[in-house]
């Protein structure tokens, strides 16, 4: 069993922010959750708006909650809106079903947690999350 810890989360955040700088993205907020949906680390870049922490956590929480990246949730919000609405109701409104929530998997496929990023377009948020996860030596699963 792979141990997923604060050091990994910090590496993910740093690498995601570096990717954001390379792509000239707007200020990012990065949340890293463990497999139980608990916050391990969160960092908000200067200039990020006030709800960005909640959005980043909601993207990551949704991914961990359903065992699929938030891209999957986004697709289901379009094709089965009643399902995603009900799911979000059960979750107390804490799921943000748009791309940018990416599962962190071990080499053998075990879900270790998720990364949620917000601040730019959903596609760019997702790209930064994937870069951060891969820089930490894990497999990124955007859904």
**Would 18 be classed as within a structural domain?**
yes
Q: Which of 87, 77, 141, 135 is nearest to 109 (CA)?
A: 141
**Would 51 be classed as within a structural domain?**
yes
The residue-averaged pLDDT of 120-124 equals 97
User: What pLDDT shows up at residue 1?
Assistant: 67
| Alpha-carbon gap, residue 44 to 36, rounded angstroms | 22
Q: Judging by DSSP bridges, how do beta strands 39-44 and 139-141 pair with one another?
A: unpaired
User: What pLDDT shows up at residue 2?
Assistant: 74
Each residue's pLDDT tens digit, 12-58: 999 999 999 999 999 999 999 999 999 999 999 999 999 999 999 99
Task: Phi first, then psi: give them for residue 105, nearest 5 degrees.
Answer: -120, 150
The residue-averaged pLDDT of 88-109 equals 96
Other beta carbons within 10 angstroms of residue 14's beta carbon come to 15
**Would 42 be classed as within a structural domain?**
yes
| Alpha-carbon gap, residue 29 to 44, rounded angstroms | 4
Q: How many domains does the chain have?
A: 1
Please give the C-alpha separations between residue 117 and each of 13, 42, 56, in angstroms, as whole numbers.
9, 10, 5
pTM of the model: 0.95
* % of the chain exceeding 70 in pLDDT: 99
Report residue 18 as tokens. 């570096």
**Would 1 be classed as within a structural domain?**
no
Please say whether the beta carbons of 115 and 43 come within 8 A: no
The mean pLDDT value of the chain amounts to 96
| Structural domain boundaries, residue 58 | 6-141
Strand partners, 141: 103
């Amino acid at each position: 069993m792979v141990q997923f810890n604060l050091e990994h989360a910090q590496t993910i955040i740093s690498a995601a922010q570096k990717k954001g700088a390379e792509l000239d993205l707007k200020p990012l907020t990065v949340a890293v959750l463990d497999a139980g949906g608990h916050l391990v680390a969160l960092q908000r870049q200067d200039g990020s708006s006030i709800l960005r922490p909640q959005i980043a956590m909601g993207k990551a929480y949704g991914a961990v909650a359903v065992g699929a990246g938030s891209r999957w949730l986004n697709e289901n919000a379009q094709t089965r809106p009643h399902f995603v609405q009900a799911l979000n109701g059960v979750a107390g409104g804490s799921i943000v079903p748009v791309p940018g929530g990416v599962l962190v998997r071990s080499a053998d496929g075990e879900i270790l947690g998720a990364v949620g990023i917000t601040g730019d377009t959903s596609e760019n948020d997702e790209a930064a999350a994937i870069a951060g996860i891969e820089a930490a030596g894990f497999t990124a699963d955007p859904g």
